[in-house]
Structure formats: C-alpha cells, structure tokens
Copies of this chain bind each other. A is one copy, B any other.
Amino acid sequence: MTLKLHCFGESGNAYKAALALELSGLDWEPIFVDFFNGAARTDAFRALNPMAEVPVLVDGETVLTQSGVIQLYVTEKTGRFGGTSPEDQREVLRWMFWDNHKLSSVAGNTRFLMNFLPEDKRPADVIAFQLGRLKAAYGVLEAHLAGREWIVGTAPTHADFCCCGYLFYPENFGFDRAAWPHIDAWLSRLESLPGWKHPYDLMTPARPENRRDTAKG
C-alpha cells in the first residue's frame, strides 16, 4: 500500500520525512496541504492531526506525526538511515534531538518571521535574536563536519536529513552556504545522492511563486 505524506513544499519538517521516504525506496506519495490558505485547520485535517501541522504520514490504519517519528518508521520498515550499530543509533538520535532543538526549529521560525509575515509586521529584535542562535548552531554543525562526509558514520542517516531540513530553501534566513565550507560540501554531497530532490520539487509548494514544473502532489 502506498504511504501517504500530507505535506507542502515550504515545510522543512515535512522535507525531512519526504527525503527519507524518497531515498528509502518505499512506495510513497505526497498529499498537498494548502497550508497558508488554512487547509491544516479544517475539521477533516484536525481529525488526522489535532495539532493542525504537517507532516502527517498515513499507512493504512497507522497515522504518525512529528517528522522524527516518521523518519524512525522508515527505519522500522526498511532498516535504513537509523545507524548500523548501537553507538551509531544513539548518535543518530542525538543529532535528531539537537537539530530539533537548536537548528531546524529556529531556522523554520526565523524564515517564517523574515519572509512569510507582511513586511511591516516582522519583529526586528526577535529576528536578530534568532539569527544569533542560528549562527551558533551553524558553527556547531560546521565544526562537526570537518573531516567527515556524513554526520554519523560513513553513510547518510536521519541525522543528515534532519539537519539539512531548511538549508536548501532560497528564502533569506541568514544562512549563506558559502560562509560555511564544511556545511557547503556536505549539502553538495546530499544533492548528489541518487534520488535527491529539492523540497520544491519533492513536494508541492503552497506559495505559487515557489512552484516548479516538476512539483508533485
């Protein structure tokens, strides 16, 4: 049965799950959620996820939310991307929790404040504060990737899919790849993986200006 991922292109959290699904070989399809027009706040969607958020994975009777849970379900079904030893499994989880706390949640929030709010409603002090926290997070990731191809072990894992969740987006949220050489090389490595797709190609963007010809779902 085809796994269904309710998502939209601008959601970095959805991208983490979608990228893991796409690279896993599992049979899946994206189901577009017209998020900025309120599609996640309908009664029907809230019946699926009371938190009115994406991503949501539907596998028959099983409904899962939180990108990390969906990613670990991919591992449950395929054995892939979760780390190949107990130590590596803990390392993958460590980076998934770190990303959730320090990188992707701040990046997503900052990107929203800087791009998806009307220009006269963007809180300058809050944005400056978040940009400072992001810079610290980039520094941690940059240092970790020195002399390393992947965040954990010698192959891509959910640690990589989590940490890259927002880093391919073109909108300005203070991230300039060229300023972080190890991160830049690692992102290129991800882009070179057979089957890799940009978020706006893997899932339909909700904002028309982000749509590309090859968008699915």
Binding site for B on A (CB under 8 A): 50-51, 62, 64-69, 72-73, 87, 90, 93-94, 96-98, 100-101, 105, 123, 125-126, 129, 140, 143
Complex CA gap A129/B68 in Å reads 26
The distance from the CB of A41 to the nearest CB of chain B, in whole angstroms, is 14
Q: Are A90 and B73 in contact (CB under 8 A)?
A: yes
Contact of A129 among B87, B98, B123 (CB under 8 A): B123
Partner of A51, one of B50, B64, B129, B140: B140
Contacts of A105 in B (CB 8 A): 101, 105
> Closest chain B residue to A108 by CB distance?
B101
Contact B94 A97 (CB under 8 A): no
**Considering the chains assembled together, what is the distance between the CA atoms of A81 and B64 in angstroms?**
20
Chain B residues with CB under 8 Å of A64's CB are 90, 94
